[in-house]
Amino acid sequence: MVSKRVFYEGRVQGVGFRYIVRSLATGYEVVGSVKNLIDGRVELEVQGDPDEVDEFLEAILDSQLRRHISRFVVQEIPVKSGVKGFQIRH
Protein backbone atom coordinates (compact mmCIF):
# COMPACT_ATOMS: atom_id res chain seq x y z
CA MET A 1 0.00 0.00 0.00
CA VAL A 2 1.25 3.45 -0.96
CA SER A 3 -0.20 6.94 -0.49
CA LYS A 4 0.62 10.01 -2.56
CA ARG A 5 -0.32 13.66 -2.61
CA VAL A 6 -0.15 15.49 -5.93
CA PHE A 7 -0.45 19.23 -6.47
CA TYR A 8 -1.50 20.22 -10.00
CA GLU A 9 -0.85 23.71 -11.30
CA GLY A 10 -2.04 25.50 -14.41
CA ARG A 11 -5.58 26.16 -15.55
CA VAL A 12 -6.88 23.35 -13.35
CA GLN A 13 -9.89 25.03 -11.76
CA GLY A 14 -13.13 25.73 -13.59
CA VAL A 15 -12.49 23.03 -16.22
CA GLY A 16 -14.13 20.02 -14.52
CA PHE A 17 -10.77 18.76 -13.26
CA ARG A 18 -12.06 17.25 -10.00
CA TYR A 19 -15.00 15.53 -11.68
CA ILE A 20 -12.85 14.00 -14.41
CA VAL A 21 -10.32 12.79 -11.82
CA ARG A 22 -13.11 11.20 -9.77
CA SER A 23 -14.47 9.53 -12.90
CA LEU A 24 -11.02 8.20 -13.82
CA ALA A 25 -10.58 6.83 -10.29
CA THR A 26 -13.48 4.42 -10.80
CA GLY A 27 -11.32 2.46 -13.26
CA TYR A 28 -8.65 1.76 -10.65
CA GLU A 29 -8.52 0.15 -7.24
CA VAL A 30 -7.62 3.37 -5.44
CA VAL A 31 -9.18 5.50 -2.72
CA GLY A 32 -8.71 9.16 -1.94
CA SER A 33 -9.92 12.66 -2.66
CA VAL A 34 -9.42 15.69 -4.84
CA LYS A 35 -10.03 19.34 -3.98
CA ASN A 36 -9.46 22.88 -5.21
CA LEU A 37 -7.07 25.04 -3.21
CA ILE A 38 -7.50 28.77 -2.71
CA ASP A 39 -4.22 29.47 -4.51
CA GLY A 40 -5.59 28.02 -7.78
CA ARG A 41 -3.98 24.58 -7.55
CA VAL A 42 -5.75 21.23 -7.24
CA GLU A 43 -4.69 18.78 -4.52
CA LEU A 44 -5.11 15.05 -5.05
CA GLU A 45 -4.58 12.41 -2.37
CA VAL A 46 -4.63 8.80 -3.53
CA GLN A 47 -3.72 5.49 -2.00
CA GLY A 48 -3.72 1.86 -3.03
CA ASP A 49 -1.43 -0.75 -4.53
CA PRO A 50 1.68 1.00 -5.91
CA ASP A 51 0.99 -0.13 -9.50
CA GLU A 52 -2.66 0.97 -9.35
CA VAL A 53 -1.71 4.38 -7.96
CA ASP A 54 0.95 4.89 -10.62
CA GLU A 55 -1.39 3.80 -13.42
CA PHE A 56 -4.13 6.12 -12.12
CA LEU A 57 -1.75 9.09 -11.98
CA GLU A 58 -0.56 8.27 -15.50
CA ALA A 59 -4.18 8.10 -16.69
CA ILE A 60 -4.71 11.66 -15.45
CA LEU A 61 -1.76 12.83 -17.52
CA ASP A 62 -2.99 10.83 -20.54
CA SER A 63 -6.48 12.36 -20.30
CA GLN A 64 -7.85 15.62 -21.68
CA LEU A 65 -6.73 17.24 -18.41
CA ARG A 66 -3.08 17.21 -19.53
CA ARG A 67 -3.50 20.37 -21.60
CA HIS A 68 -4.57 22.25 -18.45
CA ILE A 69 -1.63 21.09 -16.32
CA SER A 70 1.50 23.23 -16.48
CA ARG A 71 3.25 21.59 -13.51
CA PHE A 72 2.64 18.89 -10.93
CA VAL A 73 4.45 17.83 -7.77
CA VAL A 74 4.11 14.32 -6.32
CA GLN A 75 4.81 13.61 -2.64
CA GLU A 76 4.77 10.30 -0.77
CA ILE A 77 2.62 10.61 2.36
CA PRO A 78 1.75 8.20 5.19
CA VAL A 79 -1.06 5.74 4.43
CA LYS A 80 -4.29 6.67 6.20
CA SER A 81 -6.56 3.99 7.60
CA GLY A 82 -10.29 4.01 7.07
CA VAL A 83 -10.30 5.85 3.73
CA LYS A 84 -13.12 4.60 1.51
CA GLY A 85 -14.05 5.47 -2.03
CA PHE A 86 -12.88 8.45 -3.99
CA GLN A 87 -14.49 11.80 -3.32
CA ILE A 88 -14.45 15.45 -4.22
CA ARG A 89 -13.69 17.55 -1.15
CA HIS A 90 -14.72 21.16 -0.72
**3-state DSSP call for residue 20?**
helix
Active-site residue, selected from the candidate residues 5, 11, 36, 89: 36
Yes or no: say if 35 and 88 are a contact pair by the CB < 8 Å rule. yes
18 is catalytic: yes
Active-site residue, selected from the candidate residues 5, 11, 18, 66: 18
89 is catalytic: no
> Which of the residues are catalytic?
18, 36
